[in-house]
Structure 1
Amino acid sequence: MIQRKSGEPEPGNKKIQQAASTALYAVLVILALWVVRDFIPAVVWAAVIAIALWPLLLRLEPQRGSRARATIVALLLTAAVALFVVLPFVLVITQAAHETHDFVTWFKQAEANGIPLPDLINHLPFGAQQIASWWQENLARPLHDSPVMNGLHGETAVAFGRHFGAVAAHGLILFGFMLVTLFVIFLAGPRMSENLVKATRRAFGDDGALIASQMTAAVRGTVAGLVVVGIGEGALLGIAYAIAGVPHATLLGLLTAIAAMLPFCAPIIFCGAALWLFVQGATVGAVSVLIFGFVVVLIAEHLVRPLLIGSSTRLPFLLVLFGILGGAQTFGLLGLFIGPALMTVLMVLWRDWVR
């Protein structure tokens, strides 16, 4: 008969202790996540950006670099990300400030005399009479007597302003925490990457580490597909705006690039530019901008972007499209990167299943 050492738990008690430890760890992790729940989006955004810039970080910071160099590299990369996000908004706000005087003058004239009916309305193929009638009733008269403007009473405007201010403040706070988190990730450098790989392999085995690696590649490919293609679309359409004579072509090109980072949003900008050209009587320029814009978007959205994202993960075009659109619908902007990563997991599991 085997003698059990003194103090050694019986097999039944050992299983109970293991189950209790697992439950305790799970409760503590859930509690910790609940405490920091409001900052999880900032951490996830920082992780997405860090994954995208990790190859650059490894080039700038060698495995055995000095602590001072690691800090400088982390600061430079974090500052570059901050400028990349903040600079477009600064340019838009600066340009808007330059146009404030003209807008105030136009608004005062509209408030006193109303907004004339654009000639474009009379040339619409259908609905022109109904639109003209509504315009004459609500906007052609002085705005202080307009039923539409009277409906926008002060309390509504104040409530909207407060809501917008609260959302903007919350976004700025999250952006600040995201930058701090990103700096810490960059400062940890290759050590963090090695520890994450070891922890993943220990928890889920080699298959889990492979899936994590492919999800990382999916996120990196998605960032390249969204950001690089968006910048390319904005640059090409910015040139088209300048040639067609659209005012503030550089600013519109920047706005187009930002919109193009979201799937199928670039047409909002270049269709608006084409409409302005059409109202000004530049029909050829308007049609040219429309045709060129849709050609650029079709090539970028249906060829270049799926190629960049799919080539890094070997995902079919349909799964890339479903991942981007479904992820955005489910998780918001973060879903643009989470969706393709989840589709990668689905594809890996399918390949293992049919192997």
Structure 2
Amino acid sequence: MANNDRLLVQILLLFLLGASLWVLAPFWSALFWAAVLSFASWPVMRVLTRLLGGRQSLAAGLLTLVWTVVVAVPLVMLGFNLADHIKDFTALLKGFQVEGLPPVPAWLAGVPLVGERLVGFWLTIDQQGAAFFATVRPYLGQVGNWLLARSAQIGSGMLELALSLILVFFFYRDGPRLAAFAQSLLKRLIGMRADHYLELVAGTVQRVVNGVIGTAAAQAILAWVGFAIAGVPGALVLGVLTFGFSLIMVPPLIWGPAVAWLFWQGEVGMGIFLLIWGIFVISGVDNILKPYLISRGGNLPLIVVLLGVFGGILAFGFMGLFLGPTLLAVAYSLLSDWVGTPVGSIMLSSTEPAEKTQR
């Protein structure tokens, strides 16, 4: 009878756990980003709490406000700017349809190998503008629908970001209590190795955060150097924007338009230079520096880190940048512990209960 009661309690606990996960399912992404953000900036939270005389709630509120100003406000402004640019792009297409294309740029004919063909293509589109736009009009509708869908995703991302910033306050305020709960839960599940795996997960996440921020800073500096050499106006501002876009791994959205602007201004040589600099230096450093910074200070093989980073991104999206290396790190450590355990000790531990039963 006691066994039946225990089984019933276990079933009820599993049902309660499943229901709780179901309730939290819509907020997993926001919870994940709030946890990563609070963990990565926890040293700052500790220093701020000490400066404020131990008032943890006040420190949590101030640091959350800082994140709101630094992260949320620029992203909201970026969203509005993208909406404005979409409107300008639509107006530009309508202007081309009514008035035709502008005169052929002088630099277009000087493009090696394909310059004359490009000029001919430009003149053909200008002369047959009405027929051309009538041909591409259905595709423009598809592009408009695609942009509308992406705009909806940006809006949902903004709401998710706002929720993450609200949740990060509670992670800051209740961080020590949540850490103690996680430690107790892991000790209950896996015993004395709980501290080891907590340190493993914490170290992996910290190295990933350092790798992402360090790579973004390097790309921003390299982008600023390239913009300054090419003579692009606002090089410093574009470098700062490159840092923000590098965090979401799309720096070409900054240096790409700069290359197009240089070609449009007739600076073909500098445009080619910035194109090569962007592909091989700004974007290329991501494939070298990020894996190095993530693997630095840990005992994981570099191939495990690479597979974790790129495989995680393919499997989980941007969240996989943190999930992939962490999952592979824990799996690699578990397998290492299992392989490193002597077979004799496993056999001995499995035969001890039988010997005691016989006695």
Structure 1 residue 151 corresponds to structure 2 residue 110? no
Q: Which residue of 2 aligns with 1:30?
A: 18
One-letter amino acid of the counterpart of residue 16, structure 1: N
One-letter amino acid of the counterpart of residue 151, structure 1: P
CA distance 1:322–1:290, shift in 2 (3 Å): same
Structure 1 residue 72 corresponds to structure 2 residue 58? yes
Q: Which residue of 1 aligns with 2:262?
A: 277
Q: CA deviation at 1:174?
A: 1.7
Q: Which residue of 1 aligns with 2:164?
A: 178
Q: Which residue of 1 aligns with 2:28?
A: 40
One-letter amino acid of the counterpart of residue 27, structure 1: F
CA distance in 2, matches of 1:188, 1:174: 21
Structure 1 residue 228 corresponds to structure 2 residue 205? no
Q: CA deviation at 1:55?
A: 2.2
Structure 1 residue 314 corresponds to structure 2 residue 299? yes
Q: CA deviation at 1:338?
A: 0.6
After superposition, give the CA deviation of every residue in 1:70-92 in whole Å (9 maximum; x if it has no partner): 12211122122222322433554
Q: CA deviation at 1:186?
A: 0.6
Q: CA deviation at 1:153?
A: 6.9
CA distance in 1, matches of 2:11, 2:154: 39
CA distance in 1, matches of 2:91, 2:140: 22
Alignment check: 8 A CA contact 1:138 1:147 kept: no
One-letter amino acid of the counterpart of residue 230, structure 1: A
CA distance in 2, matches of 1:153, 1:279: 24
CA distance in 1, matches of 2:226, 2:302: 29
Q: Which residue of 1 aligns with 2:2?
A: 14
Matches within 5 A, 1:286-301: 286-293=271-278, 294-301=280-287
CA distance 1:236–1:208, shift in 2 (3 Å): same
CA distance 1:297–1:92, shift in 2 (3 Å): same
Q: Which residue of 2 aligns with 1:259?
A: 245
Q: CA deviation at 1:253?
A: 2.3
Structure 1 residue 343 corresponds to structure 2 residue 328? yes
TM-score (norm 2): 0.78
CA distance in 2, matches of 1:91, 1:37: 29
Structure 1 residue 84 corresponds to structure 2 residue 70? yes
Q: Which residue of 2 aligns with 1:9?
A: none
CA distance in 1, matches of 2:70, 2:120: 46
SS at match of 2:266: coil
CA distance in 2, matches of 1:114, 1:328: 43
CA distance in 2, matches of 1:240, 1:341: 34
Range 169-178 or range 107-116, more displaced: 107-116
Q: Which residue of 2 aligns with 1:332?
A: 317
Range 221-230 or range 244-253, more displaced: 244-253
CA distance 1:18–1:147, shift in 2 (3 Å): same
Q: CA deviation at 1:206?
A: 2.2
Range 144-153 or range 189-198, more displaced: 144-153
After superposition, give the CA deviation of every residue in 1:62-119 in whole Å (9 maximum; x if it has no partner): 59954xx212211122122222322433554687799899878855642322235665
One-letter amino acid of the counterpart of residue 325, structure 2: P
CA distance 1:138–1:211, shift in 2 (3 Å): farther
CA distance 1:108–1:201, shift in 2 (3 Å): same
Aligned length: 337
- CA-based RMSD of the aligned residues comes to 3.6
After superposition, give the CA deviation of every residue in 1:237-267 in whole Å (9 maximum; x if it has no partner): 123213312244344323422332345x434
CA distance in 2, matches of 1:177, 1:189: 17
CA distance in 1, matches of 2:20, 2:81: 44
CA distance 1:121–1:221, shift in 2 (3 Å): farther
CA distance in 2, matches of 1:169, 1:109: 29
Alignment check: 8 A CA contact 1:78 1:179 kept: yes
Q: Which segments of 5 or more consecutive residues in structure 2 lack a partner in the other structure?
A: 341-359
CA distance in 2, matches of 1:328, 1:140: 46
One-letter amino acid of the counterpart of residue 266, structure 2: G
TM-score (norm 1): 0.79
Alignment check: 8 A CA contact 1:115 1:141 kept: no
Structure 1 residue 187 corresponds to structure 2 residue 184? no
One-letter amino acid of the counterpart of residue 7, structure 2: A
Alignment check: 8 A CA contact 2:300 2:329 kept: yes
CA distance in 2, matches of 1:314, 1:306: 13
One-letter amino acid of the counterpart of residue 4, structure 2: I
One-letter amino acid of the counterpart of residue 42, structure 1: A
Q: Which residue of 2 aligns with 1:3?
A: none
CA distance in 1, matches of 2:41, 2:187: 23
Q: Which residue of 2 aligns with 1:4?
A: none
CA distance in 1, matches of 2:158, 2:79: 16
Which one of the candidate residues 14, 21, 45 is aligned to 1:57?
45
